[in-house]
Amino acid sequence: MLDAFLPFLSGLGLALQPINLVYCLVGALVGTLIGVLPGIGVTATVAMLLPVTFFLPPLTSLIMLAGIYYGAQYGGSTTAILVNLPGESSSMVTCLDGYKLARQGRAGPALAVAALASLFAGIFATLFIALFAPPLADLALLFGAAEYFALMIVGLIAAIVLAQGSLLTALGMIVFGLLLSMVGTDLNSGAARMTFGIPELSDGIGFVPIAMGLFAIGEIARNLESGADRSVLAMRIGSLWPSQDDLRRSTPAAIRGTLIGSVLGVLPGGGALLSSFAAYAVEKRLAREPGRFGEGAIEGVAAPEAANNAGAQTSFIPLLTLGIPANPVMALMVGAMMIQGIQPGPEVMVKRPDLFWGLIASMLVGNVMLVIINLPLIQIWVSLLKIPYRLLFPSILVFCCIGVYTLNNSALEVMMILVFGVMGYAFLKWKCEAAPLMLAFILGPLMEENLRRVMLLAKGEPSYLLTRPISIGLILVAVGLVLILVVPAFKQTRAEAFREAP
Amino acid sequence: MQVIRIRNSSDVLFGLTLIGFGAVALYLMADVRMGTATRMGPAYFPNVLGWLAIGFGVAIIGRGVTVAGDAAEAWSWRALLPILISVAVFALGIERLGLALTVIALTLVACAADASTRWGQAGLLAVALALFSVAVFVLGLGLPLPLLPAGMR
């Protein structure tokens, strides 16, 4: 048992190196900032900061980017509680009870419970990853092309089953994303595919302009037209200390939220968003007086905030062990690793244990930093909320453009933001979730490569996929997931899990 | 014969987009080697995807004319267009005008997207963002961005 934690301790040593501490803090600060500010999401921010990671060592850049993701879960609760707006989409359910508590003059305890529940969840999720990632990576080392292809299918299908919206639309988005990923030179034959003869496109479409177009531009236009200029109530936060009663109620809720988040985070399509919705739904169902929920129940803050932080962290497990991203943020992490010349997958743990354990251990450090950043310094973040959106959105545009341009010094890539910005806006208008497209875009080349290998081994017989036990299992899971969606009872549960949004 | 009625314009529009992209992909891949299932050529997987896109597009349109849903929301070009133009300004300007002027131009164009913009404030923001970008990205991080207009370097 103790042996299992030796590599973790050496990772902790790396995470505590000054440069890694500094960038862990930078990630935590940026994460809190964008978490607090509504209208800037994690995906767009990570995309914006990718060019900066060129200049950092691999471990340092991963630590920073990871800090942004889980840091945003801390910041998101602040806005949810004080302004009744989700700073991050994963804080949507926190608005329900958090804002009520603030209206009752109990903003301080609500903020404190949110931060402490997140801290507990963060520490637990770190140990969860340390325990479960290595065996999963060992298993993944046995995978051949057939297993990988099946795994990617399961990943994509699960990602849409566990997400919001229509299955058919999401399948369409997956095919769309896969098609876009085919643009560029075919690695096997050197043939140009769908490049329109544009030389810059021979390397394929960059994932950074796609992420920015889909997740930043459309969002900005939407925020502007809804005229969401939020006004922060001149609210006194008061004492941060939760009462005995608060602690008694929120401790079990935080523990349940942590467990739910840790498990749901691992699943493809999981992560912070799904975890927080599920945790809230469970608390409401278990409560002796469900009527208190929505009227300022402290459990309604503790559970989803613990869950979204745990889920954000454990969603690194499929990335680190299988090389398969669970959500768009993880898809960008794949990109960040490839920029550094690292192919994500089970080999990372064997070949680069420093990277693997250093990143995991940094989460422990980051979570402690985040509590300090969020609780004593809360007034600073509240004052940032007063920045009007009309000053914010031009700044986001400037950073997006500079970020994309510096990636390859290519003005054409900046133009790509424009193309995908129109798409992102259209998808918002048509209620098509963009996340499956992004996942499919990242997985596309891998899927093609593995499909080619499978078919070569199988001599063109697709039934080969059904001759290997692991791939049979995975394909059965994929079929099961689709069937489940057709079952009315599950359909209803799924709709219910996402219904709580205000 | 009954006239087909659109019951969910979001579905119909997305379906048409999918069909369009699928068709373009099939057209562009027409001259590229297909190969066989055993030895897939460069066009094999894209062709499969192209047909899948068309298939899903048809299915989604089918749903759009049978199952009622929300109509697609109207587009607000007032907000979208200035944002798109501002990005284009950056793409076209960065190599010719240099970073400082381009950022100022981008900011001013983008500010037109917001009805509540105060132009004095927008001007200050533009200058502040230009100074910040030059200080952080060029002087601080040392990114290779052109600073001055092409004629003045």
Q: Measured between CB atoms, which of B18, B39, B42 is closest to A193?
A: B42
Give the C-alpha separation, A311 to A391, whole Å. 32
> Is it the case that residue B10 has pLDDT exceeding 50?
yes
A307 torsion bin: left (phi>0), alpha (psi -120 to 50), beta (else):
alpha
Query: B10 at the A interface (CB within 8 A)?
Result: yes
> Is it the case that residue A111 has pLDDT exceeding 50?
yes
The pLDDT of A103-120, averaged and rounded, is 91
Give the C-alpha separation, A93 to A77, whole Å. 10
Residue A143 lies in a domain: no
Residue B72 lies in a domain: no
> Is it the case that residue A296 has pLDDT exceeding 70?
yes
Share the mean pLDDT of chain A: 86
Q: How confident is the model at residue A502 (pLDDT cuts 50, 70, 90)?
A: very low
> Is it the case that residue A1 has pLDDT exceeding 60?
no
Are B41 and A405 a contacting pair at CB < 8 A? no
At which of B42, B66, B90 does a domain end? B66
Half-sphere exposure of A156 (CA within 13 A, CB side): 27
Distance from CA of A453 to the nearest CA of B (A): 9
Contacts of A444 (CB under 8 A, 6+ apart): A177, A178, A180, A181, A182
CB B65 within 8 A of CB A194: no
Q: What is the pLDDT of residue A426?
A: 94
Nearest-by-CA chain A residue for B116: A390
Task: Answer yes or no: do B30 and B85 share one domain.
Answer: no
Task: Answer yes or no: do B85 and B132 share one domain.
Answer: yes
Q: Which residues in chain B have their CB less than 8 angstroms from residue A456's CB? A: 38-39
Q: What is the pLDDT of residue A198?
A: 83
- Report pLDDT digits (tens) over A348-383: 888 888 999 999 999 999 999 999 888 888 888 888
CB A366 within 8 A of CB A28: yes
Tokens at residue A373, please? 């950043």
Q: What is the pLDDT of residue B116?
A: 81
Give the C-alpha separation, A104 to A233, whole Å. 13
Task: Answer yes or no: do B52 and B87 share one domain.
Answer: no
> Is it the case that residue A231 has pLDDT exceeding 60?
no
At which of B43, B66, B89 does a domain end? B66
Contacts of A310 (CB under 8 A, 6+ apart): A121, A122, A124, A125, A128, A257, A258, A259, A260, A261, A262, A265, A275
Q: How confident is the model at residue A163 (pLDDT cuts 50, 70, 90)?
A: low
Task: Answer yes or no: do B82 and B35 share one domain.
Answer: no
CB A354 within 8 A of CB A59: yes
Tell me the residue type at B74.
A
Q: What is the pLDDT of residue A287?
A: 85
CB A45 within 8 A of CB A5: no
Q: What is the pLDDT of residue A3?
A: 67
CB A248 within 8 A of CB A266: no
Distance from CA of A33 to the nearest CA of B (A): 18
Q: Which residues in chain A have their CB less than 8 angstroms from residue B122's CB? A: 390, 394
CB A358 within 8 A of CB A63: yes
Are B113 and A193 a contacting pair at CB < 8 A? no
- Report pLDDT digits (tens) over B76-134: 888 899 999 999 999 999 999 999 999 999 999 999 998 888 888 999 999 999 999 99
Task: Answer yes or no: do B34 and B15 share one domain.
Answer: yes
CB atoms inside a 10 Å sphere around CB A230: 15
Q: What is the pLDDT of residue A501?
A: 46
Distance from CA of A30 to the nearest CA of B (A): 15
Task: Answer yes or no: do B82 and B147 share one domain.
Answer: yes
The pLDDT of A231-241, averaged and rounded, is 66
- Report pLDDT digits (tens) over A389-440: 888 899 989 989 998 898 888 899 999 999 999 999 999 898 888 888 988 9
Residue A502 lies in a domain: no
> Is it the case that residue A340 has pLDDT exceeding 50?
yes
Helix residue ranges per DSSP H, A84-213 = 92-103, 107-140, 145-161, 167-181, 207-212
- Report pLDDT digits (tens) over A314-331: 999 988 888 888 888 888
Task: Answer yes or no: do B83 and B143 share one domain.
Answer: yes
> Is it the case that residue A229 has pLDDT exceeding 70?
no
Tokens at residue A337, please? 């690793």
Percent of chain A with pLDDT over 90: 27
* Domain residue limits at B99: 77-152
Q: What is the pLDDT of residue A90?
A: 83
Q: Which of A33-47, A355-369, A456-470 has the highest mean pLDDT?
A: A355-369
Q: How confident is the model at residue A112 (pLDDT cuts 50, 70, 90)?
A: very high
Q: Which residues in chain A have their CB less than 8 angstroms from residue B29's CB? A: 193-194
Task: Answer yes or no: do B62 and B88 share one domain.
Answer: no
Output A374 or B23, whichever has higher pLDDT: B23
Q: Measured between CB atoms, which of B57, B59, B91 is closest to A415?
A: B91
Output A109 or A326, whichever has higher pLDDT: A109
Query: B76 at the A interface (CB within 8 A)?
Result: yes
Residue B71 lies in a domain: no
Share the mean pLDDT of chain B: 89
Are B42 and A455 a contacting pair at CB < 8 A? no
- Report pLDDT digits (tens) over A132-148: 888 888 888 888 888 88
Give the C-alpha separation, A41 to A165, whole Å. 19
Q: Which residues in chain A have their CB less than 8 angstroms from residue B32's CB? A: 191, 193
Strand, helix or coil for residue A122 = helix
Domain count, chain B: 2
Residue B135 lies in a domain: yes
Task: Answer yes or no: do B147 and B92 share one domain.
Answer: yes
Interface subset of B 27-46, CB within 8 angstroms of A = 28-29, 32-33, 36-43, 45-46
Residue B1 lies in a domain: no
Task: Answer yes or no: do B91 and B32 share one domain.
Answer: no
Give the C-alpha separation, A436 to A486, whole Å. 19
Domain count, chain A: 1
Task: Answer yes or no: do B57 and B121 share one domain.
Answer: no
Query: B144 at the A interface (CB within 8 A)?
Result: yes
Task: Answer yes or no: do B90 and B52 share one domain.
Answer: no
At which of B66, B88, B110 does a domain end? B66
> Is it the case that residue A234 has pLDDT exceeding 60?
no
* Domain residue limits at A198: 3-137+149-497
Query: B25 at the A interface (CB within 8 A)?
Result: yes
Handedness of CA A348, A349, A354, A358 (dihedral sign): positive
Longest C-alpha distance within chain A, in Å?
Answer: 71
Handedness of CA B110, B112, B114, B117 (dihedral sign): positive
**Candidates A175, A187, A449, partner chain B, best to mutate (most B CBs within 10 A):** A175
Residue B4 lies in a domain: no
Q: Which residues in chain A have their CB less than 8 angstroms from residue B20's CB? A: none
Q: Which residues in chain B have their CB less than 8 angstroms from residue A425's CB? A: 75, 80
The pLDDT of A186-200, averaged and rounded, is 83
Q: Measured between CB atoms, which of A224, A402, A451 is closest to B113?
A: A224
Tell me the residue type at A444.
G
Give the C-alpha separation, A254 to A113, whole Å. 9
Q: Measured between CB atoms, which of B10, B80, B107 is closest to A430?
A: B10
